[in-house]
Structure 1
């Protein structure tokens, strides 16, 4: 049966040919049941993969970065320095995420993926799925919205992308981490758990509410998010007042950026807050990408250990330099010295005066 192409291909016939050659006739040799319960026929060895959101693109990266055909958003220079050459200068194709952004269909056609990954974070729709499936390009949906989804997601991606051993190793790491953190947190009495404020924005007066995926690491590690109000928009960063933060009286403040950390530490207004008075304003590690959030990624697995150790060092006596070395070897294929690992741990901290 001839392949039916959407009207856009009549305007871009060269792209139609590229997609037809690269995708429509790709041999299909396996089926998989995805997170929506659909049975999807997939390439035996996909060579060009597109993911609809930054978190899912980074999960694909963790398995095999060179399969990616593009990014969802521009990549920061610091991250590019870590990337292998095959992904450093990939085009920005867009995706379903954040503040109403959508994929660039023309750029997607030129990229000619032979497999599409649509994770929980992507919020794709039937029309866009049909755009791919109408071209004979399979779409596999995975659960990836929470850190708890990672063991299954990584194992599935390992099988899909032709490296089940790597997917199993990363999935096992994720599962072991989740179990260790849950066990340790269960042993901390409720009245001993620290009250934490997540300071975002230019002035630290933006935050994300309890239960937000933006603060998931904090809460899984046993911290009490003092801002109990649910976030009002998917992107988060809801505004609060200084009076509200003072009333919260957090015992520890997580600073989104070094700039925010420095501003809080230097401000007389913030000094009345217990966390500031006691010197417990902590910057989030941010290299090669933010460990905690924006975008939420597989780095949250390492962030869980860092967060738990930061909050409760006696319950979680991790050697974080060694943990960072082991993690970067498994997920980034990087052999770090102890000094390099410690530099990553300090990457979100403000310069000392």
Structure 2
């Protein structure tokens, strides 16, 4: 019995030693696999970027090719990093082409990546092989879901960066961090910060009795407008003007809210700004508009639109020069700037072009 017990003891020890060796080998294998995995990630030179939706996205350490998700993103990316663009969300308009280098005009069109106007061209996107897709705009409730779904669909890292009128300085700072051009982005950020500070000072110094009411006329008949509180009417708020379109439904689209002439006559705005030459001419020639004090007193102006509308359309960084234009137009004593010189500076910094004096005069046709 003693001999049998000794054999059982020896056998148990042997089994335990085998289990120990097996466990050790497994741990060593896992450790080796972990090291290999880490080396694999490092060899690809990737890192994690936290976007404005608090999403952790793995992206290349050095981004060489980018694609915009839509028109708003396209403008901001063009101002910040034009040479990284490998495609466009929408073609440049005929009016814009005068101020856009031809090499960018020939870029392939991907269309808009998601949303109601989605028109993504996957074939063109695949051929361009962007390192990242960048979406820029206001934060929506579904932004995380939208970005994740888009990233899963196209299998390309997708980044969201918040941008509204007041956050443009931070938008450029975030882009500089993402794309590695912090110095250039800081210059654009500083310009936006200066404009916003100037507007804030002007607003704070205005007495309520000094505030001007402004009606923004758009649409074929001039009776579409961006109502008070609309994302597309932020320039009016920023300069300290009162939006004439109050107590009407806010439509969160560029086309805005449709109103009646009766409402407009009741509002009697101090100024009317028209979003096109056609609307400007209609307002000054159509008899129904002559009942408005602004028309009688010659306070009707055409919004500059080259290369992009100063009030928005799309509501991107183009609105910065819109603040300066509208501010000096209705509050010249608070915005003591030379708008022609300011346009030249803005276009050089943001659109990478130096407009001539004649081009500036054309931009400001019916706008002064």
So what's the TM-score if we normalise by structure 1?
0.84
SS in 2 for 1:203: coil
**Contact 1:53 1:122 survives alignment (8 Å):** no
In terms of fraction of residues, the more helix-rich structure is 2
**Contact 1:63 1:161 survives alignment (8 Å):** no
Q: C-alpha distance in 2, partners of 1:273/1:87?
A: 44
Is 2:216 the partner of 1:195? no
Gap change, CA 1:244 and 1:149, over 3 Å in 2: same
Q: Which residue of 2 aligns with 1:12?
A: none
Structural mapping, 1:44-59, within 5 Å: 44-59=61-76
Shift of 1:136: 5.5
Structure 2: where are the runs of 5+ without partners?
Answer: 1-40
Q: Deviations over 1:136-170 (max 9, x none)?
A: 532221111x2112101112112322321110000
Structure 1: where are the runs of 5+ without partners?
Answer: 1-23
Is 2:222 the partner of 1:204? yes
**Contact 1:200 1:255 survives alignment (8 Å):** yes
Q: Which residue of 1 aligns with 2:280?
A: 261
Q: C-alpha distance in 1, partners of 2:74/2:139?
A: 10
The root-mean-square deviation of aligned C-alpha atoms, in Å, is 2.5
Gap change, CA 1:323 and 1:89, over 3 Å in 2: same
The structure whose Rg is larger is: 2
Q: C-alpha distance in 1, partners of 2:99/2:293?
A: 38
Structural mapping, 1:1-353, within 5 Å: 27-95=44-112, 100-121=117-138, 126=145, 129-132=148-151, 137-144=156-163, 146-228=164-246, 229-346=248-365
Gap change, CA 1:93 and 1:121, over 3 Å in 2: farther
**Contact 1:291 1:297 survives alignment (8 Å):** no
SS in 2 for 1:116: strand
Shift of 1:101: 3.0
Gap change, CA 1:323 and 1:27, over 3 Å in 2: farther
Q: Which residue of 1 aligns with 2:9?
A: none
Shift of 1:98: 7.7
Gap change, CA 1:74 and 1:134, over 3 Å in 2: closer
